[in-house]
Structure 1
């Protein structure tokens, strides 16, 4: 039995290593796809969960490649050594900024949320053109659209940290811009999950190893917080009806609860003017649901509360940390922790590649150049004609 178990363990290690190398080389080739011809797509075979958990198959001693429908688990295994602990005192961002948590007694999230946290994408577009996530032909790296790169980066991030992930293909409103569907479906998901992170496709996590729980601790988004959003750049046209800077709804952190349900209910009904007279103008006028929240909801929610009287209920995150990107750093929005590429949406592909290679590169170096038997050092030898000699 010991021999069989050892054989099975070796097979799993070999399979995992082969998968790492294959995926890393595929991504690396994609980064320089102008110099390569497009490879032939392999045939994809999916296995039933019962097959994957069959002890007879696990301990048969036969080496088989991991099934693709277990990819989320494989991703989490690969990134696990790199993931920042949720109570780590500090870390350095991709841009070199040092971020520190509050003292231990002020931390709001000490345990992982796991599948109780949802990373949520939603859209009403088809995405069936070449490079789209719903195209008939599965996209290759060199055809991947910027929207698909964004969505895939969100799935990758959820897999790294063991979160739930959903993509909702939503209907359109008859009387308002499709952007408003974000509000009602976030509200619905909050009935199933403790925390929902709602994202636009062009919102990216530049530090993919940093979990949401760490960010909750850093921004002090505790159980009493209903919703948190980043401030927009402090410049035209990003002002509400009171000339206060808007919040941006491309990245929304929401915590479940009855009060949150009430807030989202009022927000979704804002254009109907049941509570907020004048909100109907944002049915189709930019910035739609963002303007409705910024100009009305945050000043009057839960029967008279406001962002000023109850700042813990609605958290406004710094633009420099949770909005924008390095290209608009001069606007005070460099996206240190969360980036929103509203000005350079095509860069989603680049950041997605960076997320992937950020984990594969150290793994490849560790396996190729830090283990005995692969690297052979002849630098203490002497070359003489056709001979390799020891020093005299």
Structure 2
């Protein structure tokens, strides 16, 4: 059995899957795209089709899991879908081998029973008398020309009826008869010759089927297919226990679900009280779901204590950048987006941050929108959906990418005197032009198109300087690159004195990476505390005991009279014998 789970395939908008033994799951509908309502298991030779009329913004991702399947795009009319393809040759191979055995057995029977009998064959009178019991296709065999003898062997003929009778005789038999039959026009061939041709073709077809179904194929040009990333290096625990994942998903839904900001809301009020309003009608009115990929990219192992791949990560010893990537994962879980962490290969001659460029390019082949963040970048409001920000920042059908401008400081200016765009936070939209931009960006240091770009292989600000000095001037249509305000999508409150970059919606902690873990705690506790407090008040009758109707007399509680209650109330209002909270 071969497992290729985790491979990514690109299909055209209209597709069909010819499968051996297959099971289709995770299907549903999106807009005008109607697929199967429930998971369905299909038997041998099933065919599953899905036709989709895509919205102008592209296609929703389609997740299909199936075994022993071959993919056939029917036409190239635009749009792409993500298909996770898990293939196993186990069932198809069993069926194909079984059919092959049956074919060989049938051929053997025909070889023994239906082979041409020479006219001179010594057949006993009992056998001749019984030939009328045989089908016409057998009884006229004695009229065939006798082939040149090559070998002789006993012929045993068994006729089943009320009682089984077998007859044995000698016949001249030539294997050349098969070749003679195949070289004879079909109209002039004996029935036995036709059967042999059918059986031979069937046997060849079965052998081809075994080979065909054992190889997964996307039937797509390799230039369009996304890279296949191995996923086994950091495999999930294999104990089959999903209770932790289920419980954490339940916690996140319970914590953030009731307070998620509407995707198409006209405004948003920040924690300081500032109100941010859309500039027009919202483009995105429904959740994008798995069409969005929240993306982390790194080439380092990150297995040291306190790092992301540490199997025993603890809060007090967690390194700040682990907190950042966990916040990205949490944001994706809250809103139902896809999330991937890609361990990228290194460039031999470039600074490590260059790897983000080709990896973003590849990710855009499987998703309509990607959000890449450095590990010191966080969404400050986990309950605020990306769709609202896309509306607020005016993502259009012509936008290639969104990036925040850097602070107004000398080191942040390019050779033309314009401020860099920070590549630590990028929202990119799938399109051919976006692919062209990322390819040109990744190849910039080769200097085939951009002389002088090789400088930024190792010099600060690396890929950011390459984009700022070259790429943004090549891709300069009005909507190509959406420049986001530094105050909204860069910096942090601690950096407000550096060009006002306080990161209202997206915080980038280049000012102090140690603040990332604190922000993760804040992004949880600012939502958890009000919910905990509300639960406390709602169940007050179960745990609050009001003993104010009594007075203390030594070790005893004595119920107050009405006059004593009035005096006690006056003393409480005066604050007598009371300490300040926290004293």
Q: Which TM class, normalised by the smaller chain length?
A: 0.7 to 0.9
Map of 1:128 onto structure 2:
303
Q: How does 1:1-392 map to 2 (within 5 A)?
A: 48=240, 66-68=243-245, 71-103=248-280, 105=281, 107-135=282-310, 137-301=311-475, 306=476, 310-330=477-497, 331-371=499-539, 373-376=541-544, 378=546, 381-385=549-553, 386-387=556-557, 389=559, 392=562
Larger RCO, structures 1/2 (Cα 8 Å, 6+ apart): 1
Deviation at 1:319, TM superposition (A): 0.6
Aligned to 1:7: none
Alpha-carbon distance in structure 2 between the residues aligned to 1:45 and 1:150: 23
Aligned equivalents of 1:73, 1:384: Cα separation in 2: 47
Contact map agreement 1:150 1:349 (CA 8 A) in 2: yes
Residues 142 and 388 (structure 1 numbering): CA distance in 2 closer, same or farther, change over 3 Å? farther
Instruction: Using the TM superposition, name which of 360-369 and 157-166 deviates more.
Output: 360-369
Deviation track 1:141-192 (CA, whole Å, cap 9, x = no partner) reads: 1111111111111111111111111111111101211211101000100011
1:125 alignment partner, SS class: coil
Higher percent of residues as helix: 1
Residues of 2 paired with 1:370 and 1:69: CA distance? 27
- SS at the partner of 2:355? helix
| Residues matched between the structures, number | 324
Provide the rounded CA distance (Å) in 2 between the counterparts of 1:358 and 1:375.
24
Query: Structure 1: 5+ residue runs without aligned partners?
Result: 1-43, 53-65
Q: Whole-Å Cα distance in 2 between the matches of residues 227 and 70 of structure 1?
A: 36
Map of 1:18 onto structure 2: none
- Cα distance between partner residues in 2 of 1:389 and 1:376: 18
Give the whole-Å Cα distance in 2 for the aligned partners of 1:391 and 1:114: 64
Structure 2 residue runs of 5 or longer lacking an equivalent are 1-235, 563-583
* CA separation of 1:219 and 1:389: change in aligned 2, threshold 3 A: same
State the shift of 1:252 in Å: 0.1
How far residue 357 of structure 1 moved from its aligned partner, in angstroms, is: 1.1
Change (3 A) 1:387 1:227: same
Q: Give secondary structure in 2 for the equivalent of 1:297.
A: helix
Q: What SS is found at the alignment partner of 1:267?
A: helix
- Residues 40-79 of structure 1: CA distance to partner in whole angstroms, max 9, x if unpaired? xxxx98764xx86xxxxxxxxxxxxx43355235413421
SS at match of 1:91: strand
Greater CA deviation, 94-103 or 244-253?
Answer: 94-103
Deviations 1:246-287 (A, max 9, x none): 000000000111111111111111111222222111111111
Query: Residue 110 of structure 1: CA displacement?
Result: 1.1
User: Do the aligned partners of residues 263 and 170 (structure 1) sit closer, same or farther apart at CA in structure 2, a change above 3 Å counting?
Assistant: same
* Residue 388 of structure 1: how far off its partner (Å): 5.3
- Maintained 8 Å contact 1:130/1:139: yes
Max Rg structure? 2
SS for the counterpart of 2:496 is helix
**Residues 391 and 160 of structure 1, relative CA distance in 2, 3 Å threshold:** farther
Q: Deviations over 1:205-258 (max 9, x none)?
A: 111211111110111012221101000011110011101000000000001111
Q: 1:99 to 1:183 in 2, by over 3 A?
A: same
Flag the structure with higher strand content. 2
Question: CA distance change for structure 1 residues 47 and 82 in 2, over 3 Å: closer, same or farther?
Answer: farther
CA-CA distance at 1:390 after TM superposition: 6.2
CA distance in 2, matches of 1:375, 1:221: 51
Q: CA deviation at 1:379?
A: 6.1
